[in-house]
Amino acid sequence: TQLLEQSPQFLSIQEGENLTVYCNSSSVFSSLQWYRQEPGEGPVLLVTVVTGGEVKKLKRLTFQFGDARKDSSLHITAAQPGDTGLYLCAGAPSGTYKYIFGTGTRLKVLA
Amino acid sequence: NAGVTQTPKFQVLKTGQSMTLQCAQDMNHEYMSWYRQDPGMGLRLIHYSVGAGITDQGEVPNGYNVSRSTTEDFPLRLLSAAPSQTSVYFCASSYDKQNYGYTFGSGTRLTVV
């Protein structure tokens, strides 16, 4: 059972377009992290969101944690080819130590 | 350099063979986990540990064993390799998963023929 579902699974867009990736669960999380993974490498942490309703910005990337702490979103403004990669949300459901990953969103930004 | 070190980077096994994937971290992290990643997919949790001497099963534990005798090391053992275990394996560690997330090794690409 996959507790963290991401959508869309694949996304191919032109440079300069905006996009949003969603991460949803039926479980409550004490925090969620977002990672980006390049081919042949391990995931690299982008951001942590902890408080329900929290919004964090990292240059052109905006991350939001849902009020009920069951979902999160990643919005990229004016995407660039360097944003290409696999985006993963992750966290441990409240009350557990199991740190699990979402199903992943593979983004390709075309020049 | 500080971080998570995985060995080997590549391995080919025959069906039925056993082997151990090594993982070591020098950051004094309490939390360590093993994941597998199949082509084009996210990571699935195999086993995890919250400290030396404490391990527990993740989402896909069958066919794998772990132990955590020290804070630094967290080896993953494949008992009798099967083609379904062909995957990329990542080890990761964390000081405080809630606020800092996990630091990953560079992965082991395993092929079982």
pLDDT in tens, B3-35: 999 999 999 999 999 999 999 999 999 999 999
pLDDT over 80 (residue B69): yes
Residue B101 to residue A35, Cβ atoms within 8 A: yes
Do A7 and A71 meet the contact criterion of CB atoms below 8 Å apart? no
At B41 the pLDDT is 77
Residue A41 to residue B107, Cβ atoms within 8 A: yes
- Partners of A92 on chain B (C-beta within 8 Å) are 97-98
- What b/e sequence results for B21-52 when a residue is b if at least 16 CB atoms lie within 10 Å of its CB, and e otherwise? bebbbeeebbbbbbbbbeeeebbbbbbbbbeb
Min distance B16 CA to chain A CA atoms (Å): 27
pLDDT over 80 (residue B2): no
pLDDT over 70 (residue B97): no
The total of other beta-carbon atoms located within 10 Å of residue A51's CB is 10
Query: What confidence tier does A102 reach under pLDDT thresholds 50, 70, 90?
Result: very high
Query: What confidence tier does A97 reach under pLDDT thresholds 50, 70, 90?
Result: confident
Partner residue facing A31 (CB), from B35, B44, B99? B99
At B96 the pLDDT is 78
pLDDT over 70 (residue B79): yes
Tokens of A54: 């929290």
- Partners of A101 on chain B (C-beta within 8 Å) are 35, 42-45
Beta bridge partners of B111: B12
Pairing of strands A55-58, A44-49: unpaired
Mean pLDDT on A39-68: 95
Better pLDDT: B101 or B62: B62
